Amino acid sequence: MHIHSLRPFLIVAAALVAGLPSLRAADGPTPYPPAKDEAAWAGRGPIRVHGWMNDNRAYFWTQREKAQGSVVFVGSSMMGNWKGLAAAFPGVKVANRGIGGDVSRGLLFRFKEDVLDLNPRAVVISIGSNDLSSHGAPAAIAANIAAIIDQARAHNPELPLIVCTIPPRDVANAPVKPGAHADINARITALGAEKNVVILDLYPPFSNEDGTLILDYYAKDRIHFTPAGYERLASVIRPALAKVGIETK
Protein backbone atom coordinates (compact mmCIF):
# COMPACT_ATOMS: atom_id res chain seq x y z
CA MET A 1 0.00 0.00 0.00
CA HIS A 2 1.35 3.48 -0.92
CA ILE A 3 2.02 6.03 1.79
CA HIS A 4 -0.71 8.33 0.51
CA SER A 5 -3.16 5.43 0.82
CA LEU A 6 -2.25 5.03 4.48
CA ARG A 7 -3.00 8.67 5.29
CA PRO A 8 -6.75 8.22 5.98
CA PHE A 9 -6.01 5.32 8.33
CA LEU A 10 -3.33 7.34 10.15
CA ILE A 11 -5.75 10.22 10.59
CA VAL A 12 -8.40 7.91 12.06
CA ALA A 13 -5.83 6.25 14.34
CA ALA A 14 -4.61 9.62 15.58
CA ALA A 15 -8.18 10.67 16.30
CA LEU A 16 -8.79 7.50 18.29
CA VAL A 17 -5.64 8.01 20.34
CA ALA A 18 -6.63 11.62 21.02
CA GLY A 19 -9.99 10.39 22.20
CA LEU A 20 -8.68 7.77 24.60
CA PRO A 21 -9.35 9.76 27.80
CA SER A 22 -12.97 10.21 26.74
CA LEU A 23 -13.29 6.54 25.89
CA ARG A 24 -11.86 5.58 29.29
CA ALA A 25 -14.16 7.97 31.10
CA ALA A 26 -17.14 6.49 29.27
CA ASP A 27 -16.17 2.99 30.40
CA GLY A 28 -15.90 3.68 34.12
CA PRO A 29 -15.31 6.27 36.81
CA THR A 30 -12.22 8.43 36.85
CA PRO A 31 -9.67 6.54 38.99
CA TYR A 32 -8.65 8.03 42.30
CA PRO A 33 -5.22 9.69 42.17
CA PRO A 34 -2.53 8.10 44.34
CA ALA A 35 -3.20 8.90 47.97
CA LYS A 36 0.29 10.34 48.39
CA ASP A 37 -0.08 12.69 45.42
CA GLU A 38 -1.35 15.65 47.42
CA ALA A 39 -1.35 18.02 44.45
CA ALA A 40 -3.70 15.76 42.45
CA TRP A 41 -6.52 16.17 44.97
CA ALA A 42 -8.76 19.18 45.26
CA GLY A 43 -9.48 20.46 48.74
CA ARG A 44 -7.55 20.09 51.97
CA GLY A 45 -7.16 17.54 54.72
CA PRO A 46 -7.05 13.75 54.98
CA ILE A 47 -7.02 11.52 51.89
CA ARG A 48 -8.20 7.92 51.98
CA VAL A 49 -8.10 5.41 49.13
CA HIS A 50 -9.04 1.77 49.78
CA GLY A 51 -9.78 -1.08 47.41
CA TRP A 52 -13.47 -1.27 48.30
CA MET A 53 -13.87 2.38 47.34
CA ASN A 54 -12.86 1.52 43.78
CA ASP A 55 -15.26 -1.44 43.85
CA ASN A 56 -18.12 0.74 45.10
CA ARG A 57 -17.54 3.35 42.41
CA ALA A 58 -17.30 0.72 39.69
CA TYR A 59 -20.70 -0.60 40.78
CA PHE A 60 -22.17 2.91 40.95
CA TRP A 61 -21.07 3.39 37.35
CA THR A 62 -23.16 0.42 36.22
CA GLN A 63 -26.23 2.00 37.83
CA ARG A 64 -25.93 5.48 36.30
CA GLU A 65 -28.86 5.20 33.91
CA LYS A 66 -31.10 3.42 36.38
CA ALA A 67 -30.47 6.08 39.06
CA GLN A 68 -31.25 9.15 36.94
CA GLY A 69 -33.51 11.62 38.74
CA SER A 70 -33.11 10.00 42.16
CA VAL A 71 -32.87 11.62 45.54
CA VAL A 72 -29.21 10.80 46.15
CA PHE A 73 -27.91 10.02 49.63
CA VAL A 74 -24.14 10.40 49.73
CA GLY A 75 -21.34 10.34 52.25
CA SER A 76 -19.45 7.71 54.20
CA SER A 77 -20.55 4.52 55.97
CA MET A 78 -23.53 6.16 57.67
CA MET A 79 -25.11 6.37 54.24
CA GLY A 80 -23.33 3.43 52.64
CA ASN A 81 -24.52 0.95 55.31
CA TRP A 82 -28.17 1.99 55.00
CA LYS A 83 -29.63 -1.23 53.62
CA GLY A 84 -33.25 -0.16 54.15
CA LEU A 85 -32.90 3.20 52.42
CA ALA A 86 -35.54 2.63 49.73
CA ALA A 87 -38.04 1.21 52.23
CA ALA A 88 -37.53 4.22 54.50
CA PHE A 89 -38.78 6.63 51.81
CA PRO A 90 -41.73 4.96 50.05
CA GLY A 91 -42.79 6.60 46.83
CA VAL A 92 -39.43 8.34 46.39
CA LYS A 93 -36.81 7.14 43.92
CA VAL A 94 -33.53 7.00 45.86
CA ALA A 95 -29.91 6.16 45.15
CA ASN A 96 -27.27 5.38 47.78
CA ARG A 97 -23.81 6.71 46.98
CA GLY A 98 -22.22 6.34 50.39
CA ILE A 99 -18.78 4.73 50.69
CA GLY A 100 -17.42 3.43 53.98
CA GLY A 101 -14.33 5.29 55.17
CA ASP A 102 -14.82 8.23 52.84
CA VAL A 103 -13.65 11.70 53.80
CA SER A 104 -14.79 15.12 52.59
CA ARG A 105 -11.89 15.38 50.17
CA GLY A 106 -12.76 12.01 48.66
CA LEU A 107 -16.38 13.05 48.22
CA LEU A 108 -15.26 16.28 46.58
CA PHE A 109 -13.27 14.23 44.07
CA ARG A 110 -16.11 11.87 43.15
CA PHE A 111 -19.14 14.13 43.60
CA LYS A 112 -19.69 14.98 39.94
CA GLU A 113 -19.53 11.44 38.55
CA ASP A 114 -21.20 9.63 41.45
CA VAL A 115 -23.89 12.21 42.21
CA LEU A 116 -24.34 15.15 39.85
CA ASP A 117 -24.16 13.05 36.69
CA LEU A 118 -27.33 11.33 37.95
CA ASN A 119 -29.19 14.65 37.52
CA PRO A 120 -30.56 14.18 41.04
CA ARG A 121 -33.90 15.43 42.23
CA ALA A 122 -32.25 16.33 45.54
CA VAL A 123 -29.08 15.39 47.44
CA VAL A 124 -28.65 14.48 51.11
CA ILE A 125 -24.99 14.84 52.19
CA SER A 126 -23.41 13.40 55.33
CA ILE A 127 -19.62 13.59 55.43
CA GLY A 128 -16.89 14.53 57.87
CA SER A 129 -16.85 11.90 60.60
CA ASN A 130 -13.83 10.12 59.10
CA ASP A 131 -12.09 13.47 58.72
CA LEU A 132 -12.46 13.83 62.48
CA SER A 133 -11.05 10.33 62.99
CA SER A 134 -8.03 11.40 60.94
CA HIS A 135 -7.72 14.63 62.96
CA GLY A 136 -8.57 16.81 59.98
CA ALA A 137 -8.90 20.51 60.70
CA PRO A 138 -12.55 21.61 61.02
CA ALA A 139 -11.88 24.63 58.79
CA ALA A 140 -10.57 22.34 56.03
CA ILE A 141 -13.54 19.97 56.34
CA ALA A 142 -15.97 22.87 56.08
CA ALA A 143 -14.10 24.27 53.08
CA ASN A 144 -14.36 20.91 51.30
CA ILE A 145 -18.09 20.70 52.01
CA ALA A 146 -18.50 24.25 50.73
CA ALA A 147 -16.70 23.25 47.53
CA ILE A 148 -19.06 20.28 47.14
CA ILE A 149 -22.02 22.64 47.48
CA ASP A 150 -20.47 24.96 44.90
CA GLN A 151 -20.16 22.03 42.47
CA ALA A 152 -23.84 21.28 42.94
CA ARG A 153 -24.84 24.91 42.42
CA ALA A 154 -22.76 25.11 39.22
CA HIS A 155 -24.51 21.98 37.94
CA ASN A 156 -28.01 23.13 38.87
CA PRO A 157 -28.62 26.31 40.86
CA GLU A 158 -32.06 25.03 41.88
CA LEU A 159 -30.93 21.59 43.11
CA PRO A 160 -32.23 21.01 46.66
CA LEU A 161 -29.37 20.20 49.04
CA ILE A 162 -29.65 18.86 52.58
CA VAL A 163 -26.35 18.88 54.47
CA CYS A 164 -26.13 16.95 57.74
CA THR A 165 -24.04 17.78 60.76
CA ILE A 166 -22.01 14.94 62.23
CA PRO A 167 -23.98 12.88 64.77
CA PRO A 168 -22.50 12.05 68.17
CA ARG A 169 -19.85 9.35 68.33
CA ASP A 170 -17.70 7.78 71.04
CA VAL A 171 -15.03 5.62 69.39
CA ALA A 172 -12.31 4.58 71.81
CA ASN A 173 -9.75 3.72 69.12
CA ALA A 174 -10.47 6.81 66.99
CA PRO A 175 -10.82 9.74 69.40
CA VAL A 176 -11.30 13.21 67.99
CA LYS A 177 -9.39 16.29 69.07
CA PRO A 178 -11.09 18.14 71.94
CA GLY A 179 -13.65 20.58 70.61
CA ALA A 180 -13.23 19.52 66.97
CA HIS A 181 -16.64 17.84 66.69
CA ALA A 182 -18.54 20.87 67.95
CA ASP A 183 -16.35 23.13 65.81
CA ILE A 184 -17.07 21.36 62.51
CA ASN A 185 -20.78 21.10 63.29
CA ALA A 186 -20.90 24.86 63.93
CA ARG A 187 -19.13 25.44 60.61
CA ILE A 188 -21.51 23.14 58.75
CA THR A 189 -24.47 24.93 60.33
CA ALA A 190 -23.07 28.27 59.17
CA LEU A 191 -23.03 26.99 55.59
CA GLY A 192 -26.84 26.90 55.69
CA ALA A 193 -27.23 30.65 55.41
CA GLU A 194 -23.98 31.20 53.53
CA LYS A 195 -24.75 28.69 50.75
CA ASN A 196 -28.56 28.61 50.94
CA VAL A 197 -28.83 24.92 51.80
CA VAL A 198 -30.97 23.05 54.32
CA ILE A 199 -28.93 22.01 57.35
CA LEU A 200 -30.06 18.92 59.23
CA ASP A 201 -28.57 18.79 62.72
CA LEU A 202 -28.09 15.12 63.55
CA TYR A 203 -26.55 15.66 66.98
CA PRO A 204 -29.69 16.17 69.10
CA PRO A 205 -31.71 13.23 67.69
CA PHE A 206 -28.99 10.74 68.66
CA SER A 207 -27.92 12.10 72.05
CA ASN A 208 -29.28 12.30 75.56
CA GLU A 209 -29.72 15.63 77.32
CA ASP A 210 -26.19 15.32 78.74
CA GLY A 211 -24.74 14.83 75.25
CA THR A 212 -24.04 11.10 75.60
CA LEU A 213 -25.07 8.65 72.91
CA ILE A 214 -28.51 7.06 72.89
CA LEU A 215 -27.04 3.57 72.86
CA ASP A 216 -30.06 1.88 71.29
CA TYR A 217 -29.22 3.72 68.09
CA TYR A 218 -25.59 2.61 67.97
CA ALA A 219 -23.67 -0.57 67.26
CA LYS A 220 -21.01 -1.71 69.72
CA ASP A 221 -18.40 0.46 68.01
CA ARG A 222 -20.42 3.55 69.03
CA ILE A 223 -20.22 5.15 65.62
CA HIS A 224 -22.33 3.04 63.24
CA PHE A 225 -26.10 2.82 63.50
CA THR A 226 -28.31 -0.10 64.46
CA PRO A 227 -31.60 -0.71 62.60
CA ALA A 228 -33.25 1.47 65.27
CA GLY A 229 -30.68 4.15 64.51
CA TYR A 230 -31.60 4.11 60.84
CA GLU A 231 -35.29 4.33 61.73
CA ARG A 232 -34.44 7.42 63.76
CA LEU A 233 -32.36 8.82 60.90
CA ALA A 234 -35.22 8.37 58.45
CA SER A 235 -37.61 10.07 60.86
CA VAL A 236 -35.52 13.25 60.89
CA ILE A 237 -34.69 13.25 57.18
CA ARG A 238 -38.33 12.99 56.04
CA PRO A 239 -39.27 16.49 57.33
CA ALA A 240 -36.12 17.91 55.72
CA LEU A 241 -37.13 16.38 52.39
CA ALA A 242 -40.65 17.74 52.81
CA LYS A 243 -39.10 21.17 53.33
CA VAL A 244 -37.62 20.97 49.81
CA GLY A 245 -40.86 19.64 48.33
CA ILE A 246 -40.29 15.88 48.45
CA GLU A 247 -42.97 13.96 50.33
CA THR A 248 -42.94 10.22 51.09
CA LYS A 249 -46.10 8.16 50.78
Residue 213, in any domain of the structure: yes
pLDDT at 8 over 80: no
pLDDT > 70 fraction of the chain, expressed in percent and rounded: 90
pLDDT digits (tens, 9 = 90+) for 96-115: 999 999 999 999 999 999 99
pLDDT at 21 over 50: no
Residue 115, in any domain of the structure: yes
Residue 182, in any domain of the structure: yes
Q: Give the number of other Cβ atoms within 10 Å of residue 154's Cβ.
A: 11
pLDDT the model gives residue 17: 34
pLDDT the model gives residue 16: 35
- Rounded mean pLDDT of the chain? 91
pLDDT digits (tens, 9 = 90+) for 158-186: 999 999 999 999 998 888 999 999 999 99
Q: What are phi and psi of 217, to 5 degrees?
A: -90, -5
More confidently predicted of 2 and 33: 33
Provide the pLDDT confidence category of residue 27 given band limits of 50, 70 and 90.
confident
Residue 4, in any domain of the structure: no
Provide the pLDDT confidence category of residue 81 given band limits of 50, 70 and 90.
very high
pTM value > 0.85:
yes
The number of domains in the chain is 1
pLDDT at 19 over 50: no
pLDDT the model gives residue 102: 98
pLDDT the model gives residue 173: 87
Residue 76, in any domain of the structure: yes
pLDDT at 12 over 70: no
pLDDT digits (tens, 9 = 90+) for 113-158: 999 999 999 999 999 999 999 999 999 999 999 999 999 999 999 9
One-letter-per-residue 3-state SS of the chain: CCHHHHHHHHHHHHHHHHCHHHHHHHHCCCCCCCCCCHHHCCCCCCCCCCHHHHHHHHHHHHCCCCCCCCEEEEECHHHHCCCCHHHHCCCCCEEEEECCCCCHHHHHHHHHHHCHHHCCCEEEEECCHHHHHCCCCHHHHHHHHHHHHHHHHHHCCCCCEEEECCCCCCCCCCCCCCCHHHHHHHHHHHHHHHHCCEEECCCHHHECCCCCECHHHECCCCCCECHHHHHHHHHHHHHHHHHCCCCCC
233 lies in which domain range? Answer: 31-243
Residue 14, in any domain of the structure: no
Residue 5, in any domain of the structure: no
pLDDT at 5 over 70: no
Residue 16, in any domain of the structure: no
More confidently predicted of 13 and 243: 243
The terminus-to-terminus CA distance of the chain in angstroms comes to 69
pLDDT the model gives residue 242: 97
pLDDT digits (tens, 9 = 90+) for 190-205: 999 999 999 999 999 9
Residue 117: which CATH number? Answer: 3.40.50.1110
pLDDT at 1 over 80: no
More confidently predicted of 82 and 25: 82
pLDDT the model gives residue 24: 44
